[in-house]
Chains A and B, each alone.
Chain A
Amino acid sequence: MGERTATVAAEVGLHARPAATFVQTAMKAPMDITVARSTGGDPVNGKSILQIMALDVRKGEQIVIRAEGEGSEEILDALATIASTP
Chain B
Amino acid sequence: MTTVLAPVEGAAVGLAAVPDPVFSAGMVGPGTAIDPCRGPGQAVAPITGKIVKLHPHAYVIVGDDGRGVLVHLGIDTVQLRGRGFRLLATEGDRVNAGQPVVAWDPAEIEAGGRSPVCPVVALDALDGAVTPLAEGAVRAGDALFRWT
Check B114 for interface membership: any CB of A closer than 8 A.
no
Closest 7 CB pairs of A and B: A50-B68, A20-B27, A50-B123, A17-B22, A54-B52, A20-B28, A49-B123
CB of A5 closer than 8 Å to a CB of B: no
9 intermolecular pairs with C-beta atoms under 8 Å apart = A12-B78, A15-B78, A16-B22, A19-B28, A24-B27, A50-B52, A50-B62, A53-B60, A54-B52
State A56–B59 Cα separation when bound (angstroms): 12
A62 in the interface (beta carbon within 8 A): no
Task: State the Cβ distance, B19 to closest chain A Cβ, in Å.
Answer: 14
Contact residues in A for B124 (Cβ distance below 8 Å): 48-50
Main secondary structure of the interface of B (DSSP, over half): strand
Extra A-B contacts (17), CB below 8 Å, given A17-B27, A49-B123: A11-B78, A12-B78, A15-B78, A16-B22, A16-B28, A17-B22, A20-B28, A21-B27, A48-B123, A49-B29, A49-B124, A50-B60, A50-B123, A53-B60, A53-B123, A54-B53, A56-B53
Total chain A interface residues with beta-carbon distance under 8 A? 15
Residue of B nearest to A48 (CB): B124
B70 at the interface (CB under 8 A from A): yes
A19 to B28, CA, bound (A): 8
**Chain A residues within 8 Å of B58, by CB:** 15
- The digit string for B15-35, where 1 denotes a CB below 8 A from any CB of A, is 000000010000111000000
Interface flags, A10-36, vs B, CB<8A=1, else 0: 011001110111001000000000000
Chain A, 25-63, CB within 8 A of any chain B CB? 48-50, 53-54, 56
